[in-house]
Homo-oligomer: A and B are copies of this chain.
Amino acid sequence: MTQVHVIGTGLLGTSLGLALRRVGDDVTLEDISPTHAALARDLGAGRLAESAVDGDGDAGFEPDLVVVATPPDVTAAVVARALTRWPTAFVTDLASVKGAVVNGLRATGTDLTRYCGSHPMAGRERSGAVSGRYDLFDGRAWVLTPTEETDPAATVLVTAVARSVGAAVSTLAPERHDAAVAAVSHVPQLAASLVAARLEPLDDAAVALAGQGLRDVTRIAASDPGLWTQILAGNAPAVRDVLTALVADLERVVDALDDLSTSTDAPGARGALAHAIAAGNAGHARIPGKHGAAPTTYTTVRVLIPDEPGQLGRLFAHIGEIGANVEEFHLDHGLGQAFGVAEIDVVPGAAAGLGEGLTERGWHLHG
């Protein structure tokens, strides 16, 4: 049994408490708001530690691990204070940007031996203790960001805790973590938001031409501006670097389109366009597929689905009869039509049998 002390009982802190209690750990809770801490306790995330509520000096207990789950802008200060309050405990934090925390700690001369930062990739659209889920970390990546000073025992303990709640642990240096999330999360968010923003001036007849591609590209454009302002501001240098490179790439495409707008010949312009799309192919191929493995190429079987209750159940019952294992499944709706198109991804060897089996059972394959 590990004794874990959680500071900050929002979504992440409460979810971690719920998850750790299920695996038998002893969890104490603390929040700058006594009401929030008591709510998390009432939800089953842990107990309120003696004298921990006011965060005073010697807290009267000695946790193995302190988890700082506060907003990013106070994380460094709370980590520094935790290292002082519990002189033998290891300390981690859950902030989504890591370099700023380490820099904040270094700026105050904090000894980083017992600190191993971390970042569980497990956000939700909602926040607060009441949104906490014991399975929030199940199957999610949890990145550890030890520094050179970090005691390997700290990394081992944080790894064990993260794994005990179902997360997949990996390790990156703080600055490499921040550069990675800039490219795989923060810049994609900005691109999705600003592509969606370009739809605002269109009239209804124009946006009616929206297809599945646009829907996919802009799905995350519905994200919360307040939350994302904090995230982007916290990782400003790394996001700026990736975004600057993206803008330069886009400007090369603008130049090519400009040439093509004024000249039908436009030497080099078509090459620049093809290069942009081909570079996207190469980058897309880097994204890991299912199970964290290298990208797998699946074959897609498309089926017309009448928009009536029970049709998907019937479809999956038939897929079960046929014995195909569905790797990915996506439902796409036709514009103004009372049915959709189901895209069923299977390993290439299974596609022909699935298509035949579905056709035999009366389904119409599509495209």
A-side interface residues toward B, CB under 8 Å?
Answer: 121-122, 124, 133, 135-136, 138-141, 143, 166, 168, 170-172, 176-177, 179-181, 183-185, 187-200, 202, 205-211, 213-226, 228-229, 232-233, 236-237, 239-240, 242-247, 249-251, 253-254, 257-258, 260-261, 269-270, 273-292, 304, 307, 309-310, 312-317, 319-320, 323-326, 328-331, 333-341, 364, 366-367
Contacts and interface: CB of A to CB of B under 8 A. Distances in A.
A309 B325 contact: yes
A214 B188 contact: yes
Given A209-B180, A304-B135, A200 B282 contact: yes
A329 to B, nearest CB: 5
Contact of A335 (B133, B139, B200, B218): B139
Given A270-B233, A278-B225, A183 B211 contact: no
* Chain A residues touching B, majority SS: helix
Nearest to A300: B125
11 contacts: A139-B337, A168-B337, A172-B205, A176-B205, A184-B214, A214-B287, A221-B284, A222-B281, A225-B277, A228-B273, A291-B307
Contacts of A224: 277
Nearest to A135: B366
Contacts of A269: 233
A168 B335 CA distance: 7
Contacts of A244: 254
Contacts of A290: 307, 333, 340
A257 B246 CA distance: 14
A28 to B, nearest CB: 24
Contacts of A284: 196, 199, 218, 221-222
B250 A250 contact: yes
Contact of A286 (B139, B141, B202): B202
A174 to B, nearest CB: 13
Contacts of A207: 180, 184, 286-288
Contacts of A184: 199, 202, 206-207, 209-211, 214
Contact of A193 (B189, B199, B242, B280): B280
Contact of A139 (B187, B250, B277, B339): B339
Complex A-B, nearest 3 residue pairs according to Cβ-Cβ distance, in ascending order:
A139-B334, A193-B280, A313-B320
A339 B291 CA distance: 8
Given A280-B193, A284-B196, A315-B316, A185 B214 contact: yes
Given A188-B218, A250-B190, A313-B317, A206 B229 contact: no
A30 B151 CA distance: 75
A95 to B, nearest CB: 15
A336 B283 CA distance: 20
A194 B281 contact: no
